[in-house]
Amino acid sequence: MIFEIEEIPEGGLNFDVLVGKDHFEIDQSDCALTDAVKVRGKLTRIEREVCFSGDLEAPLLVTCTRCLKLFPLQVKNIVRIHFVPREKKSSPGSEVEIKETDIEQEIYEENRVDLHGPIRDQILLDVPLIRLCQDDCKGICPECGNDRNSDPCGCENDGQIDPRFAVLQKLKEKMK
Ligand SMILES: [Zn+2]
Ligand SMILES: [Zn+2]
Q: How far is the CA of 155 from the centre of ligand 1 (A)?
A: 18
Q: How far is the CA of 128 from the centre of ligand 2 (A)?
A: 28
Q: Tens digit of pLDDT for each residue in 156-166?
A: 755 455 656 66
The reported pLDDT for the residue numbered 159 is 47
The reported pLDDT for the residue numbered 33 is 98
Q: How much is the pTM?
A: 0.76
Give the E-state strand segments of the chain in sequence order: 2-4, 13-19, 27-28, 31-33, 37-46, 49-63, 70-85, 105-108, 112-114
Q: Tens digit of pLDDT for each residue in 43-99?
A: 999 989 999 999 999 999 999 999 999 999 999 999 999 999 987 655 555 555 555
As a whole number, mean pLDDT of residues 140-155 equals 89
Q: Which residues contact 123 (CB under 8 A, 6 or more apart)?
A: 24, 26, 33, 37, 56, 58, 60, 75
The reported pLDDT for the residue numbered 89 is 54
Q: Tens digit of pLDDT for each residue in 98-127?
A: 555 545 689 999 999 999 999 999 999 999
Q: How far is the CA of 68 from the centre of ligand 2 (A)?
A: 16
Ligand nearest to the CA of 73: 1
Residues with CB under 5 A from ligand 2 (ion): 141, 143-144, 146, 153, 155
Q: How far is the CA of 92 from the centre of ligand 1 (A)?
A: 54
Q: How far is the CA of 66 from the centre of ligand 1 (A)?
A: 5
CA of 160: how far to CAs of 141, 153, 155, in Å? 13, 16, 11
Ligand nearest to the CA of 160: 2
Kindly tell me the sign of the dihedral angle through the C-alpha atoms of 150, 152, 157, 159.
positive
Res. 3: pLDDT tops 90: yes
Q: Which residues pair with 108 in a beta bridge?
A: 85
Q: How far is the CA of 88 from the centre of ligand 1 (A)?
A: 51
Q: How far is the CA of 163 from the centre of ligand 1 (A)?
A: 23
Ligand nearest to the CA of 67: 1
Res. 141: pLDDT tops 60: yes
Domain ranges of the chain: 2-137, 138-176
